[in-house]
Amino acid sequence: MSNVHQQYAVNPFPELRGHGLWLRPWDAESDADAASWLRGLSDPEFQRWNTPLKFVRDVDAARESLRSRAESAREGTGVAFHVTDPDTGDALGHIGINAIDHVMRRAMVGYWVLPEARGRHVATRALHLATRFAFTELALHRLELDHAAGHDASCHIAERCGYRYEGTLRGAMFEAGRHDAFRDCHLHARLATDPEPEVPDLARGAR
């Protein structure tokens, strides 16, 4: 591990609260967490827009995937938050700060929401929290967010959180369920120096 990454190793892992959410670390040894991770990555809507490098098809694979996320946090190259209800602890989704480059102070963000939690602006609220953490605690300068072209909901979330649309990347993402074909994606980004977007009271409202 390089010195610059070691300096920003996420240990102990933070917990973030705000906007009606609790963001905490995923626990690979928790049956509930492994089941939620598997359910999120198995959801047809997730699979429509995302194709992981390694498919997660059972609980054992889910645990291994979560362990790799924890290792990234220890190495300072990624942070994966379990998005939960602060009152009940119920799983709502996931948000991650990935591919962190502490030299260029840049990273990628990604998220998904479980089916029963959709329509409650969970992704928008989680992205606000994670963005603030990345700029303040991780001292990053640029956060990028990309999504498959045609995923209008993700476009709206990005723009609502101050991630400006910067263009279309041709053939930059795998086609759904395939590693041998590609599709275009839209690139959004936000800088630490950009104006802070107004955060509406989304905790109670639905789309």
Q: pLDDT at position 147, please?
A: 97
Map residue 106 onto helix, strand or coil. strand
Q: pLDDT at position 17, please?
A: 97
Map residue 80 onto helix, strand or coil. strand
Q: pLDDT at position 166, please?
A: 98
Residue 12: pLDDT band with limits 50, 70, 90: confident
Map residue 170 onto helix, strand or coil. strand
What distances in angstroms separate CA 104 from CA 1, 98, 142, 164, one per listed residue?
16, 14, 8, 19
How many residues can be counted in the chain?
207
Q: pLDDT at position 206, please?
A: 37
Average pLDDT over residues 70-82: 94
- Cα 138 from Cα 3, distance rounded (Å): 15
Q: pLDDT at position 201, please?
A: 65
For the record, the structure tokens of 159 come out as: 């723009």
Average pLDDT over residues 17-33: 97
The pTM score is 0.91
Whether 138 contacts 72, CB under 8 Å? no
